[in-house]
Structure formats: structure tokens, C-alpha cells
Amino acid sequence: MAEIAGKRIVLGVTGGIAAYKAAELTRLLVKAGATVDVVMTEAATRFVSAVTFQALSGRPVWSSLWSDENRSMAHIDLTRGADAVLVAPATADFLARLAHGMANDLLTTLCQARDCPLLVAPAMNRQMWEQPATQRNVAQLAADGVAVLGPAAGEQACGEVGEGRMLEAQEVFDALVAFVQPKPLAGKKVMLTAGPTFEALDPVRGLTNTSSGKMGFALARACAEAGAEVTLVAGPVCESQSSRYAAKRIDVVSALEMRDAVLAALPGQDVFIAVAAVADYRPASPSEHKIKKGAQTLSIELVANPDILAEVAARPDAPFCVGFAAESRNLAEYAEGKRKAKKLPLVVGNLVQDGLGGDTNQVTLFDATGAHPLPAGDKLAVARGIVSHIERLMKCPE
């Protein structure tokens, strides 16, 4: 994970049952190439031992302002040169002390003395989270520039169900990786389409394709990481993570529904990325009832669906439009033909055997200057490469 490799993270751990997740988070960060300095509150050591974090991080664990190992003014030195301070879990007590500028242990003191960004992942009982005082403290921290990650809703250690549960370690890791990315699209609004469409034949059958939506969701995440406000129009997919990165998610089924959703959300968008594998045709007259098996052949009249990308690109106030061309052959010919026919600044082309439905992709970017292959990789890495190219084209249009 090159996006976090070489970064130095100060990981604060406070006294909550979710402290066990911080151990897994430490493992993920170290595995990705980050240097992790763990700072524990006294209460945190009641849940997970310092030895655990020392073994996982390979570095000394800090816990007190007064112990001998802190004679070098750790509350100052630990954050110098750090890329971020991340407190996970962050209890209600810790958030309250932080919001009011208190510095009465090593962790709160270094948070006050830091010269790097601060992120917190709240973790507490649902009623503690809902308390007006906690909400005021969190709002104050956000106003002060602290990034608040979560919390999530779900079953809690006390047996109750509600909001206040700390995000899972992988979710916190992903949020931290996103946080440290460059922000070339800050202030921009980006709308994407993702996944397939489903064109009904009858109440239970339809025409669709094998698009998983993973490339569109990866691009939504990459755009959000780059600082954009993301609207995601998603066809029927099995992805549950996309809404974490989209400011707004709109779920649709058919091509006509996708067109309506795109046009309704289009005003004010700076970029439109048409990743979805939209069906070119739909049944002219879907059956009201299930089609029963009978004759050996069945004829279905199909009519053309609207070309959403072409319609958006042709508008006088069109945003920067990016198309996708998934082909089984003649990629350069067909992708460049699509770019010219629709007058697009950029088309992302790939062979279906290289990426459709899978977790990796290999794409070539076609713009006015020619073809630009990107290295094959997981779809998020490819998406980040596409976003970088979009940013360059928007900054220096040909």
C-alpha cells in the first residue's frame, strides 16, 4: 500500500473495549509500510497490554508523562515529523478533554502540542454518544479541524444496539489512507455512474451484464480521497462500501432510471464520469406477468436506450466528461472512436477480459494527445491513476 508507506503515524489508544481493534489497526499500518508510535492512556492498558502494541509496531510504547523513557519530552517530540495523530478508540471522556483543551496526560498533551493533523475514531455506548454534551464536543472538534471517523451503528459490547460503535480496523485504515492523499479535486463536484443496469422482460427476468460496479466504486473513493464532493448513481450491485465515500448515493435499476437520476443531479457538477455498463437496448413491451415456458423459440422486440454520456456531453453547460469503453477487441480503434464521436476529453478503455467483474484492471487512457496505458493493478490503484490524469487534463486542457 504505497499510499501510506513511509508515513509516520502516532496512534493514540484510550480506555474502551474497542481498544482491541487498535491492535489490528497497528498491524495493518505496519504491514502497509507505515511507522507507528503507540501512545496509551492508563485506562487503555486495562484492556490491551503495552506488550501487544510493542510486538505489533516493533517500537516502544508510550503511556506516561512521568516515566523515565519520557525524559526527552515525548509530548513534544512524538509528533514532530509525524504525518498524523490518530486516536482510535476515542472515548467520550477523551473527546471531552480534547475539546476543552485539557492536557492532563501524555496523549492529550501531545494532541495539544502537535504540528500535524489529528483524527479521532469515537467509541462508546449509544447513550453516551447521543448525549448533548458529547455531540457539542464532537462538533467543536470538527470546527477545530479534527477529522472525526465514524462512529458506526450496530451491536455494542453492552448488548445494546445503536450508534457509537467504533469503525472496524480496516475501515479506520482506509479512512486514514484517504486522509493523507493529495487533494487536487478539492472544491469540485463529481458525479459518477457505476454497475450494470437491469432491463425487465417480466416481473422476474431481465437483460443485464456482468459488471460488478467495483471500478465505479473505486473511482468514487479515489475522487473523494482527492477532495471532491461525490454523487454516485449506482445500478443494481452487491457493493456495500460505496456510500462511505459518496456524499450522495442514488440507487437505480434501469437505464431510463439512471438517465433521469443523472440529469436531475447534473446541475453544478464539475465532472461526470460514466463508468456504468448501461444496457444499449431494453424490451419494447415488458410483460406484466411472468412469461411461461411454451414454444421452443421466443422473440423479443428491443428498442435502443438513451445514450446518457452523449446527452450530458452535448449540453452547452456540460461538465468535464469521462467515458468508459469496455471492448472485447480493437480497443484503441473503438475507444478513440467513442471519444471523437461524443467529443469527450477522455475515454478510459479496457478489454473485458482484463477487468469486467474482477478486482483488478488494466486500462488505457485516450485523450487528444494519444493513448496512455496505466499499469495493471487493483481497481483502487487504477482509479487513483485515472483521477490524476483527469486533474492534469482539467488543469491544462489540450
392 close to 320: Cβ distance less than 8 angstroms: no
Amino acid at residue number 236:
P
Amino acid at 166: M
Give me the DSSP letters along 113-179: T-SS-EEEEE---HHHHHSHHHHHHHHHHHHTTPEE---EEEE-TTS-EEEEEPPPHHHHHHHHHHH
The Cα 336–Cα 370 span in angstroms is: 9
What the block records as the C-alpha cell of 277 is 455498463
Ramachandran quadrant class, 213 (left: phi over 0; alpha: psi -120 to 50; beta: rest): left
Q: Are the C-beta atoms of 63 and 45 separated by less than 8 Å?
A: yes
- Asked if 158 is an active-site residue, the reply is yes
Is the link from the previous residue into 151 a cis peptide, with omega within 30 of 0? yes
Type of residue numbered 212:
S
- Which helix (H) or strand (E) segment holds residue 32: the answer is none
H helices of 193-307, where?
214-225, 255-265
User: What are the residue ranges of helices labelled H in the chain?
Assistant: 19-31, 50-57, 74-77, 92-99, 106-112, 126-130, 132-143, 169-179, 214-225, 255-265, 308-313, 331-341, 379-395
Q: What is the DSSP letter of 60?
A: -
80: DSSP letter: T
From the list 239, 174, 252, 232, the residue with the least C-alpha distance to 213 is 239
Check 111, 158, 223, 321 and give the catalytic one: 158
8 Å CB contact between 200 and 161: no
Nearest Cα residue to 398 out of 363, 370, 364? 370
Classify residue 290 as left (phi > 0), alpha (psi -120 to 50) or beta. Answer: beta
Which sequence positions are flagged as catalytic? 158
